[in-house]
Every structure is written in C-alpha cells, then in structure tokens.
Homo-oligomer: A and B are copies of this chain.
Amino acid sequence: MNLHGKNFIGDQLSSGGGDILRAVSPLDNEPLPGSFYAANATDVDRAMDLADLAFQSYGKTSGAERAAFLDRIADEILALGDELISRAQLETGLPQARLTGERGRTVGQLRLFAQVVRDGCWVDARVDHAIPDRQPVPKPDLRRMLIPIGPVVVFGSSNFPLAFSVAGGDTVSALATGNTVVVKAHSGHPGTSELVASAVSRAVSASKLPAGVFSMVHGAGKVVGVQLVRHPLARAVGFTGSRIAGRALFDAAAARPDPIPVFAEMSSLNPVFILPQALRERTAQIADGLRASMTMSVGQLCTKPGLVFGMQGPDLDRFQQALARALEAVAPATMLHAGIGESYHAGVARASVVDGVSLLARSLTAADREKTQAESVLLRTDVVNFHKHPELAEEVFGPFAVLISAQTMAELEEIARGLEGQLTATVHGTPEDLESAQELLRLLERKAGRLIINGFPTGVEVCPSMNHGGPYPATTDVRFTSVGTAALYRFVRPVCYQDFPETLLPTELKEENPLHLRRIVDGKSIE
C-alpha cells in the first residue's frame, strides 16, 4: 500500500504547506504508515474555484451521464479490493465484516442514487401552459424544476468511514443531482479517505468530467473545515458528527454575508419506551434486542438507544436483570479513535456519579485502554431523578444506556414532552399497550424523525421511505433526511422558466416530455 498523503485538488495533488498528520490505529495506538498533508488556504481556494468552474458543465449533465458516473465510482471502490478494507480496519478498529458490509452499503447507495437520477422524476417538473386570452391579463407559460445548488462541502464522518465519508451519503446526494463536491477528509481515517478519493478521481477522469467535480482536502482541527464553510463559492454543507462541531459549522455558515444551508446530523439519545404488557410478555426478547442495538459497532451509531424507559415493578426488575447479564457478557471492543474513547469514558464516569444513579451492568472483562477499548455500561435511575439531572440526557457515544423507571403513563408522556429533538424514538407494546399510548406516540412524533414500534433504532435502511433526521439537536434542519433517496433534496433548488422558447428549455421541461417524466401539468400529475 502506497499512500501519497496529498490533497486532491481536482486532478492535481497538493502537499499543502501546513501541518503533517499521521493516522494512528486505535487497535494499538501506534502510528500507521503514511503522512498526510493538511491543506493550506490556497488548496481550499483552488478546490472551491475548480468546483465552481466544473459546476458550469457538470450541473448541466443529463441524469444518464451522472448515473453512469455514480456506477463507475461504485466499480472503482470495489476495484480497491481488500486493501481498502484492511486500511479501514487499521484506522478505525472496526471489524472486517462490518467494513465489508459498509462497503456494500456504500456501493449500493451509489447504485440506488444512479437509478433515481436515471429515472429523472426527482426534478419535480411542473408545467403550467400559457392562457393568452385570460382576463384581465394573459397567463404566461411557466415551467419549474429542481436544479443543483452549486459546490457542496462534505465532511467525512468518523463512524462510517465508507458510507458517510468521502463517497458516502452526502457526496452521492450532491453528485447525483449535479453538484460538485469538496470533501474534508476525517482525520481519523486519512488513508481510507485517500483510497476512496483516488477511486472517485479515476471515475471522474474515466467519465470525462471536468476535474473540479471532486476534490478532497486533509486537515485536523477546525481550520480547514471553517475555511471551506466560509468560502464564498460554497453553496451548502453536509456534516455528521458531534453537536459542538456541527453547531460551530452551522454558526459559521449562518454568519456569512450570504448564509448557506448546513445539514449537520449531530446528537440523539434515541429513547426506547417499553410498555407494561410488552415488558412482561417479551422480557428476554426485548432485552436481547436492546443489547444488540446498544453494542452494535461498539455503540458508535447515531441511532444507538441511550435512554430506556419502563414501568417500575417486578417485570422491569426481571428485564433489567436480563439486560444486565447480556451486557456483562459483551466483550470490550476497540472504539474508532482515542478521542472518542476518552469522551466515552468521561461520559460514563460523569453519568455514573450523578446522585440517585446506580450501576446495573458493566462488561465483565475489563477494557484494555491501550487498545482503545470500551466496556458496555448500563445505569439505572427513576423519572424523578432523571428530571432533576438534565446531564443524564446528554449523548454518550458508545455502548452505554440509562434505564429509567416510571410509575405512570403520565410520567412517560412528561418525559416525551421534555425531550430534545431525536433521530428516532421507539415504543415496545402489545396492541393493548399501544392503544393506551396514543398520546405518547403523538408527543414523540414532534420530537423525532423516525418512530419505531417493537423494533430497534439501529440499522438505517437506504430507501425512499427512510428519514434520518429530526428536530434540533438531532440535526440543524428538521426538513431533510441524510439517508435514503430523499437526501438528494438537500442540495437542489427550484427554478421557474417563464415563456422560454422550446429550444432553450431544459430537456425535463420540454413540451413533448422526451424523458417521459411524471410531471405536474396544469395542476395534474401525468406521465
């Protein structure tokens, strides 16, 4: 494996001029081969200039052309073979099976978006014909569609080094709809990022697209990221990460002379409510599902359940025992990087010493800190105490949850009313339970982007119906999803063409509908 460590500025490589970064494996906290060069301000400018220039032509490519490009990216990623998986393993500590699955999701995502743009209906084409003899004034011919917004800045996330990083969900949403992309590589997996960037780069040149369609820069800390977000040519930002970093980017974008949208997916506790009959009848099943959902990927998932509510009593005690035993048996495992590991240990320690909180379970095998390992931990408290200590409602990213006992349904409703925004909220219940939980469900609908009955929040499908989003602080924009095909709507804008001659109309809006799109014509949906 030969990593050059440079920034991809269109089809040029730059060794920046700033700091040199090293990748460190969380598996042993030793540096990995390869030096990576933080981009300097010139790199950022050139990447954005090229992205803007490339947008002029890439923004006008057909859906078929872009679909072929996305498919080619998928092919090039697969062609990286085992090298990609093994580097990602070293950089993130994630197991091979998980990374192989994630590569499948990444490639599947690219091919799914390729289908969507090949189909073309996403442009939401609308045609209103002229009525020249309308009184008191003639009606002009008006046609509208969605077009790309311009250069998009994408931040690679640490917990999905493939599916939400260089060629992940944000990048594919932006490229599919005709935007150009400048990626800020996550400093936790720079080598993985370089490999994927080289694959995208090869796809750009094989597809004969202008080089500025894709750039990728390295950088640790905030400097390069903030330069990108503040850059005058940036038109939108996609980010998945911590609440502090996401809010900083949102604030920087909102303070621009011309504010731009930031889609930051940040923080979620994914509360799970277990109603009484379900708790009694499916004790072991729910405990086992919860254990799996809490500890999958060492709890480093945005949708990991972090708060579990049940009704006080012997059923909850039985459930608690089952869950505690299951979690004790979970072996400590390596987290993504030392920083996440430290945050996890600090978060667990902070919550554990809160008054009225008791420890229910901790992995029986001790975590090896030299391997950046984390133990699974379960705490318990009650609703009254939970209300007293808002710090218990702060996300602890890792295999950790708090089990909270309530006395009444009204208490659960009060909890729901007081929640911050969430990506997901889950309710377990029998039909009778659910009948009595309609107010709870109504309240949760206002707080979360996805509601789950008798399931678990982890495992986010990539499909048209997915919504991976939610009220602040789950995201900075409740109106959009970052997973699933609807994610492309983040990077587009409508334009109306009034009285355009047929020859100048975009193909999607031509009278004869050559692409056979479903369109709203004079108020009716037709194909």
Could you tell me which A residues sit within 8 Å of B by CB distance? 56, 60, 101, 121, 126-128, 136-137, 139-140, 142-144, 147, 149-150, 250-251, 254-255, 258-259, 261, 420-421, 431, 434, 438, 441-442, 445-446, 448-455, 459, 461, 463-467, 469, 471-473, 476-481, 486, 492-501, 503-504, 518, 520, 523, 525
Residues of chain B contacted by A127 (CB below 8 angstroms): 465
**Partner among B142, B453, B495 whose Cβ is within 8 Å of the Cβ of A504:** B453
**Partner among B254, B445, B450, B464 whose Cβ is within 8 Å of the Cβ of A126:** B464
**Bound: A251/B250 CA distance, A:** 12
Asked if residues A441 and B504 are in contact (CB atoms below 8 Å), the reply is yes
Identity of the chain B residue whose Cβ is nearest the Cβ of A479 in the assembled complex? B493
Asked if residues B452 and A467 are in contact (CB atoms below 8 Å), the reply is no
- Could you list 17 examples of A-B contacts with CB < 8 Å? A121-B525, A126-B464, A139-B461, A140-B459, A143-B465, A144-B467, A149-B479, A251-B254, A259-B472, A431-B501, A441-B504, A449-B496, A450-B498, A451-B497, A452-B499, A453-B498, A479-B493
Asked if residues A481 and B494 are in contact (CB atoms below 8 Å), the reply is yes
Asked if residues A469 and B494 are in contact (CB atoms below 8 Å), the reply is yes
Residues of chain B contacted by A480 (CB below 8 angstroms): 494
Asked if residues A128 and B461 are in contact (CB atoms below 8 Å), the reply is yes
Asked if residues A142 and B463 are in contact (CB atoms below 8 Å), the reply is yes
Identity of the chain B residue whose Cβ is nearest the Cβ of A426 in the assembled complex? B498
**Bound: A19/B454 CA distance, A:** 55
| A254-B251, A501-B434 known; A467 vs B486 contact (CB < 8 Å) | no
Residues of chain B contacted by A520 (CB below 8 angstroms): 464-465
Asked if residues A128 and B465 are in contact (CB atoms below 8 Å), the reply is yes
Asked if residues A140 and B455 are in contact (CB atoms below 8 Å), the reply is yes
Given A127-B465, A139-B461, A251-B254, 18 extra CB contacts under 8 A: A121-B525, A128-B465, A140-B459, A143-B465, A144-B464, A149-B479, A250-B259, A254-B255, A254-B259, A258-B473, A261-B479, A448-B495, A449-B493, A450-B498, A451-B495, A451-B497, A453-B501, A455-B499
**Partner among B149, B450, B473, B492 whose Cβ is within 8 Å of the Cβ of A495:** B450
Residues of chain B contacted by A431 (CB below 8 angstroms): 501, 503
Asked if residues B150 and A446 are in contact (CB atoms below 8 Å), the reply is yes
Residues of chain B contacted by A143 (CB below 8 angstroms): 465
Asked if residues B501 and A455 are in contact (CB atoms below 8 Å), the reply is no
Residues of chain B contacted by A451 (CB below 8 angstroms): 495-498, 500
Asked if residues A500 and B461 are in contact (CB atoms below 8 Å), the reply is no
Asked if residues A495 and B144 are in contact (CB atoms below 8 Å), the reply is no
Residues of chain B contacted by A478 (CB below 8 angstroms): 149, 493
Residues of chain B contacted by A492 (CB below 8 angstroms): 479
**Bound: A390/B404 CA distance, A:** 61
Asked if residues B455 and A467 are in contact (CB atoms below 8 Å), the reply is no
Residues of chain B contacted by A101 (CB below 8 angstroms): 136
**Bound: A400/B142 CA distance, A:** 27
Asked if residues A126 and B477 are in contact (CB atoms below 8 Å), the reply is no
Residues of chain B contacted by A497 (CB below 8 angstroms): 450-451, 453
Residues of chain B contacted by A494 (CB below 8 angstroms): 449, 467, 469, 479-481, 486
Which of A492, A499, A518 gathers the greatest number of chain B CB atoms within 10 Å? A499
Identity of the chain B residue whose Cβ is nearest the Cβ of A140 in the assembled complex? B455
Residues of chain B contacted by A481 (CB below 8 angstroms): 494
Identity of the chain B residue whose Cβ is nearest the Cβ of A477 in the assembled complex? B261
Identity of the chain B residue whose Cβ is nearest the Cβ of A251 in the assembled complex? B254
**Bound: A126/B142 CA distance, A:** 28
Asked if residues B466 and A496 are in contact (CB atoms below 8 Å), the reply is yes
Residues of chain B contacted by A518 (CB below 8 angstroms): 525
Asked if residues A466 and B258 are in contact (CB atoms below 8 Å), the reply is no
